[in-house]
Structure formats: structure tokens, C-alpha cells
A and B are shown apart, each in its own frame.
Chain A
Amino acid sequence: EPEVTQTPSHQVTQMGQEVILRCVPISNHLYFYWYRQILGQKVEFLVSFYNNEISEKSEIFDDQFSVERPDGSNFTLKIRSTKLEDSAMYFCASRGFTAGNTIYFGEGSWLTVV
């Protein structure tokens, strides 16, 4: 079965450093997402991306965050200057064309900011 893959699985970074999390969505999918889950809390929506631009973002997704699809397969989340409160599991997800399609999630990238 096709799957969403994410790298790295775990990253430790110092506060103030830039971090890039990478994702390879399912190949024929058109909508891409980033979510995060702080330990013990709900999964929260960050951003959706379609047709090479952001289609929706939450209030969490401030100027410190950016997303990019640098080529035909990768989808990245960049955090410019990490804060302690950015420590979380970050999930990439993708879905097909229609709103009724199932959204598929990757295994997550666990980010620890020290």
C-alpha cells in the first residue's frame, strides 16, 4: 500500500536553530498537510498546500514556519528559529483530489528543542 514517508524520525536541535522536516507524500496525491502533536495533547492542524501554494493555515503557523515543495516528490516544513515549545511530533499527510478522500499520515518526525 502506498505510504507517506517522513525524515528524520527524530531530531534534537538547539533553541534558535533552523530545522527542516521532510516528507514524501503519496505519489498521485494533490493536497499536502503538516500537523503537529505536542506530547499528551491533541493533533493540531498547521497548514495545507495545494497547487504549489498554501491553501489554509492555522494560527499556530506563524512567520517562523514555512512550507515548500522543492521538486515533484518532496514536501518540507521549515522552522526558522526553533523555540522550546516547538518540541512535538510533526506529521505530514496527503490526500487525493476530492474533499471526500481519506487523508493518509506519515509516521511522524519527533522534534526535540533543547
Chain B
Amino acid sequence: KQEVTQIPAALSVPEGENLVLNCSFTDSAIYNLQWFRQDPGKGLTSLLLIQSSQREQTSGRLNASLDKSSGRSTLYIAASQPGDSATYLCAVHSGGGADGLTFGKGTHLIIQP
């Protein structure tokens, strides 16, 4: 059974810093991995999707990498801003006929102005 773990659980940094959020998964047989952002009481906004054959994806100040063989992904946020404050969720779409995403518990990020 796929398990997804995110470290750290919470992070508070001053505005302007570059930061890295970590995600690990136990079963490397995946279709893809998605990073989401969740604001309090709100839905999930997709940030980046990395296919299993890809090593990284970039969108603006965000860069996500994937090392499938070691079961790890990182989300890099450059030049953080207070508006980046949210919970960041990692989710894995496993293979073998399983269609649902398996989520981590998230990293709660606070960017101090």
C-alpha cells in the first residue's frame, strides 16, 4: 500500500528566502506525482504535475523534482512571498490499476513579511 510522507510538517521563514519542501513515497511504481496548494478551508489548487518519466517541472517561482527510484520529490519555492503562505500537499498517482491519488499530510508554510 502506497504511503506518502511530507517533511517538514510546518515551516516558517522570512519573506524572500528560497525553500524546499520534501515528499517521499514508499512504492516507486507511479504514473505521476502532483503538488497542490491548499488555503485554509479551501479546495486544492494544482501547482505542478510530474510524470514518472520526467525529472522536474517548473512553473514561475516553483520547481518540482522527482527521483522515482528513491521515492522522493521536492518542491522548491524561490524568493518566497507572504502570499505563498498555505499548506502544500504532495500526491502520488500509483500504477497497477489504482486510480486514486495518495496524499501526504502536507507542509504548513508561513512566510513572514
Q: Which residues of A contact B (CB under 8 A)?
A: 31, 33, 35, 41-48, 50, 55-56, 58, 91, 93, 99-100, 102-108, 110
A93 to B51: give the CA distance in the assembly, Å. 19
Query: A65 → chain B, closest Cβ, in Å?
Result: 14
Q: Which residues of B contact A (CB under 8 A)?
A: 31-32, 34, 36, 41-46, 49, 51, 89, 91, 93, 97-106
Query: A28 → chain B, closest Cβ, in Å?
Result: 17
Query: B87 → chain A, closest Cβ, in Å?
Result: 10
A42 lies within 8 A of B104 (CB): yes
* Inter-chain contacts of A48 with B (CB < 8 A): 99-100
Query: A112 → chain B, closest Cβ, in Å?
Result: 13
Q: A103-B34, A105-B44 are in contact. Are A43 and B103 (CB under 8 A)?
A: yes
A50 to B32: give the CA distance in the assembly, Å. 19
Chain A residue at minimal CB-CB distance from B47: A102
Can you name 7 A-B residue pairings with CB atoms under 8 Å?
A: A31-B99, A35-B100, A56-B98, A99-B31, A102-B49, A103-B46, A110-B41
A79 to B105: give the CA distance in the assembly, Å. 25
Contact of A43 (CB < 8 Å), options: B31, B41, B45, B89: B89
A79 to B31: give the CA distance in the assembly, Å. 31
A45 lies within 8 A of B46 (CB): no
Chain A residue at minimal CB-CB distance from B49: A102
Query: B102 → chain A, closest Cβ, in Å?
Result: 7
Most chain-B Cβ atoms within 10 A of its Cβ — which of A91, A102, A103?
A: A103
